């Protein structure tokens, strides 16, 4: 069975009221339309995903996905996508609005199962509100259990849908409408309450989050004839930090803070200093896998606050460089990073410029 998945993400989203088209705004850390793409790929149910976008180059190439440029109206974009796949021996086609990012693989499987005996399967939920219907001057009560709020993805026998779509000249808001307008049978199945449609900006903030904090500390001795690295930046100085790696206290500290927030032990567990493979390693190579771990677990960084504890070099002169470097390495906005310099009144090892220490605290959030 050749199943295709069409994602409609070319709309202007007039009700959304933003300069950036709705499908490109960030929702749970990524552009809205990407949620649908990722779920469809993950399901492994589809031979190909057809992504209909306003700007074709807004999506990085992927072997599972063909991108085509959409039209001004949703029904025209849908028609164009169906035409695009018409010679590809398609059996079934799923059509989905990118504005619904939360559908599950379970729903996809359920739709597919029901399509064996039907030509159209459409998910719906009931309304919780008392419902009235206004007809000319009269308002009548409707039994709310008789009201079906239909969702996407909707799935269809390709040929039947293609023929209906080809003939259609009227503006429709979903493909179920095509079937109803032509007196064709639809199998309605239970949809998902969480499969909401993002319509207004405020809909973006409705997802529950969990926040965690992590703390990091590190100190290294300064030694002659070594380069000094702080936050990934090479800093001209009389000495460098002695360590198994390049001794970048700021990056080590951040790795530990992130691992703390993730509840994944510490830097020594990930990069044991008795293993030669980590000898003289640049510390950004220790940070990168932790950033990936965050992303793969749906975490985003809220803010990062750092104390660099040393007599010299002067933090004020390095601040912008280090913050830019960290923003780049961690793939975050530099506005959420703060770097403070702290001297120790010339006391002890640090005060005598024999060591540099660092502490950091980070906050991360996960979307449910
Ligand atoms: Zn260290």
Distance from Cα 112 to the centre of ligand 1, integer Å = 53
Domain finish residue from 171, 205, 239: 205
What span, in angstroms and rounded, lies between the C-alpha atoms of 232 and 230?
A: 5
Domain finish residue from 185, 205, 225: 205
Say which DSSP state 14 is in.
G
* Cα of 46 vs its chain's centroid, Å: 21
Domain finish residue from 144, 170, 205: 205
- Answer yes or no: do 158 and 248 share one domain: no
Q: Across the strands, what pairs with 354?
A: none
Tell me, what CATH number does 242's domain have? 3.30.1330.50
- Answer yes or no: do 19 and 167 share one domain: yes
Distance from Cα 245 to the centre of ligand 1, integer Å = 8
Tell me, what CATH number does 168's domain have? 3.90.550.10
Taking only the tens place, the pLDDT of each residue in 186-226 is: 999 999 999 999 988 888 776 667 899 999 999 999 999 99
The answer to whether the beta carbons of residues 340 and 307 sit under 8 Å apart is: yes
- Answer yes or no: do 37 and 178 share one domain: yes
Taking only the tens place, the pLDDT of each residue in 50-101 is: 999 998 888 888 999 999 999 999 999 999 999 999 999 999 999 999 999 9
Distance from Cα 180 to the centre of ligand 1, integer Å = 66
- Answer yes or no: do 102 and 216 share one domain: no
Taking only the tens place, the pLDDT of each residue in 146-194 is: 999 999 999 999 999 999 999 999 999 999 999 999 999 999 999 999 9
Does 278 score more than 80 pLDDT?
Answer: no
What span, in angstroms and rounded, lies between the C-alpha atoms of 66 and 340?
A: 47
Does 11 score more than 90 pLDDT?
Answer: no
- Give the least confident one: 13-22, 189-198, 234-243, 291-300: 13-22
- Answer yes or no: do 193 and 332 share one domain: no
- Answer yes or no: do 201 and 213 share one domain: no
CA-CA-CA-CA dihedral for 296, 299, 302, 305, to nearest 10: -70
Query: How many separate domains does the chain show?
Result: 2
Does 277 score more than 80 pLDDT?
Answer: no
Distance from Cα 320 to the centre of ligand 1, integer Å = 22
- Answer yes or no: do 124 and 259 share one domain: no
- Answer yes or no: do 40 and 183 share one domain: yes
- Answer yes or no: do 133 and 279 share one domain: no
Is 253 strand, coil or helix? helix
Domain containing 16 equals: 3-205
- Answer yes or no: do 94 and 18 share one domain: yes
Q: Tell me the average pLDDT across 273-294.
A: 88
Distance from Cα 149 to the centre of ligand 1, integer Å = 57
Structure confidence at residue 207 (pLDDT): 66
CA-CA-CA-CA dihedral for 230, 231, 236, 240, to nearest 10: 30
- Answer yes or no: do 268 and 307 share one domain: yes
């Amino acid at each position: 069975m050749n199943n295709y998945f069409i994602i409609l993400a070319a709309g202007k989203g007039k009700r959304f009221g933003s300069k950036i088209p709705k499908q490109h705004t960030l929702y749970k850390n990524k552009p809205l339309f990407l949620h649908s793409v990722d779920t469809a790929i993950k399901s492994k149910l589809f031979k190909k995903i057809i992504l209909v976008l306003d700007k074709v180059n807004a999506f990085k190439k992927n072997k599972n996905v063909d991108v085509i440029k959409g039209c001004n109206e949703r029904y025209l974009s849908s028609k164009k996508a169906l035409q695009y796949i018409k010679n590809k021996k398609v059996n079934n086609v799923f059509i989905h609005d990118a504005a619904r990012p939360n559908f599950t693989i379970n729903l996809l499987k359920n739709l597919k199962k029901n399509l064996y005996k039907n030509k159209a399967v459409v998910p719906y939920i009931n309304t919780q509100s008392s419902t009235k219907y206004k007809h000319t001057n009269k308002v009548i009560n409707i039994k709310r259990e008789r009201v079906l709020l239909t969702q996407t993805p909707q799935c269809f026998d390709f040929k039947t849908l293609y023929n209906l779509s080809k003939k259609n000249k009227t503006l429709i808001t979903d493909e179920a409408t095509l079937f109803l307008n032509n007196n064709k049978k639809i199998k309605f199945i239970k949809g998902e309450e969480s499969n909401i449609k993002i319509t207004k900006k405020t809909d973006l903030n409705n997802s529950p989050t969990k926040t965690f904090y992590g703390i990091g500390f590190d100190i290294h001795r300064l030694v002659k004839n070594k380069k000094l690295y702080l936050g990934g930046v090479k800093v001209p100085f009389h000495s460098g930090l002695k360590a198994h790696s390049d001794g970048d206290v700021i990056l080590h500290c951040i790795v530990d803070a992130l691992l703390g927030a993730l509840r994944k032990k510490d830097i020594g567990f990930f990069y044991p200093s008795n293993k030669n493979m980590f000898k003289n390693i640049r510390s950004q190579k220790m940070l990168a896998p932790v950033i990936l771990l965050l992303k793969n677990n749906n975490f985003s960084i809220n803010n990062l606050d750092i104390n660099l504890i040393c007599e010299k070099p002067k933090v004020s002169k390095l601040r912008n460089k280090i913050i830019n470097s960290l923003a780049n390495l961690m793939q975050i906005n530099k506005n959420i990073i703060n770097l403070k310099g702290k001297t120790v009144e010339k006391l002890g090892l640090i005060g005598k410029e024999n060591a540099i220490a660092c502490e950091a605290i980070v906050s991360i959030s996960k979307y449910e």
